[in-house]
Structure 1
Amino acid sequence: MQIEYTAEQAAIQPRLASANINSETFLATDYLNHFNEIVMLLEMIPDMPELAEDAADWAPKSYTQHFLDSGFQAKELAVQAYDLAPSLVRAQFEHICAELDKLIQGTLAGMAAVNVAERGFTPQAQELIRIRIEAIQGLLMKLNQVIHGKFDGDIDLPEEVVDDSAQTQEDIDKLFD
């Protein structure tokens, strides 16, 4: 896909690559760390349910907030570049981030609905967590594609995310009992 850049965008592009910011999309992969941290915790939770409490502390964080809170050396440039990101890139990026936030928060809410630290997880609950992790990882791969400019129009989202018909509390309880 060919993007036509404004003069303001073209002026900042030479500074981006040396700062680990993609000069086509104006996005940095460092933002993926925000999601990778919770994925690592979720991967351990089926075998170590006591980590569910740590995972519950995770909260969505905007791209800008992530960089303002980070030790990323070029964080001001990352925020500036994000504000100048091509609209199609930014729209796809934000859409996938919103779906990631929704999926992660739904997974965490399901785990918080029961006291798993004491009882642990049923095999069905462990499988549900693994399925959710796979969906999250699939979205992270799509997000990475957007960051690297490897997209061609619309990004197809996994069915689990597009049709995220929330389970009832009764369904969640059955999994964790």
Structure 2
Amino acid sequence: MQIEYTAEQAAIQPRLASANINPDTFLATDYLNHFNEIVMLLEMVPDMPELAEDAAEWAPKSYNQHFMDSGFQAKELAVQAYNLAPMEIRSVFERICAELDQLIQSTLAGMAAVNVAERGFTPKAQELIRMRVEAIQALLMKLNQVIHGKLEDAVELVEEPTEESAQTQEDIDKLFD
């Protein structure tokens, strides 16, 4: 995909690479840390159900909010670059982020519905959590592709939710009950 940058975008590009921000996409991989933290917890939850409480504290964060709350050295530049990111990149990025947020939140809600303090997770629930972690990791790979300018690869992998997948989601959530 060939992107035509505006004068304002072109003016900021030389400063991006040295700040670990992709000068083509205007995005930084540091944002993935927001999701990587919850993935690490969720990976451990099936075997250590007491971590479900810690995982429940996770909440979605916008790209800009992540950087403003982080110790990222060039956080102001990261926010400025994101706000100037080409819309064809940013729209795919935001769609994947929304899908990630929804998947993580539904997983956390399902886990919260189970009283793990008394009995832990059933084997089916443990397997479901592991499957959800794999799905989250697949979305993180797509997000990483977008950040690195491999938009075509990421777009091919992003599927619009269907009625069938919504039904499957509902069925999966019932496993936690």
Asked if Structure 1 and Structure 2 have the same fold, meaning a TM-score greater than 0.5 normalized by the shorter chain, the answer is yes
Secondary structure at the counterpart of residue 50 of structure 2:
helix
For 2:157, give the aligned amino acid.
Answer: D
Q: Is the 8 A contact 2:50 2:116 kept in 1?
A: yes
Q: C-alpha deviations, 1:30-82, integer Å up to 9, x for none?
A: 00000000000000000000000000000000000000000000000000000
Check 1:170–1:2 CA distance in 2 against 1; reply closer, same or farther (3 A cut): closer
Q: CA separation in 2, counterparts of 1:19 and 1:99?
A: 27
Distance 1:132 1:164 in 2: 15
**Aligned to 2:176, which of 169, 172, 177?**
172
Aligned position for 2:143? 143
| Structure 1 contact 139–158 (Cα < 8 Å) conserved | no
Q: Deviations over 1:7-49 (max 9, x none)?
A: 0000000000000000000000000000000000000000000
Q: Structure 1 unaligned segments of length 5 or more: list them.
A: none
Which residue of structure 2 lines up, in the alignment, with residue 13 of structure 1?
Answer: 13
Q: Which residue of 2 aligns with 1:156?
A: 157
Q: Deviations over 1:129-150 (max 9, x none)?
A: 0100000000000000000001
- 1:99-144 Cα offsets, whole Å, 9 max, x none, are 0000000000000011112211111111000100000000000000
Letter in 1 for 2:149: G
Partner Cα distance (2:127, 2:25) in 1:
36
Runs of 4+ in 1 over 3 A off after TM superposition: 168-171
TM-score (norm. length: structure 1) = 0.92
* Counterpart Cα distance in 2 of 1:47 and 1:172: 16
Correspondence list, 1:13-162, <5 A: 13-152=13-152, 154-157=155-158
Return closer, same or farther for 1:146/1:122 CA change in 2, 3 Å cut-off: same
Say what the alpha-carbon RMSD is for the aligned residues. 1.7
Letter in 2 for 1:157: V
Question: How many equivalent residue pairs?
Answer: 172
Rate the CA distance shift 1:65–1:155 in 2: closer, same or farther, 3 A: farther
Contact 2:100–2:136 (CA under 8 A) maintained in structure 1: yes
Distance 1:75 1:43 in 2: 29
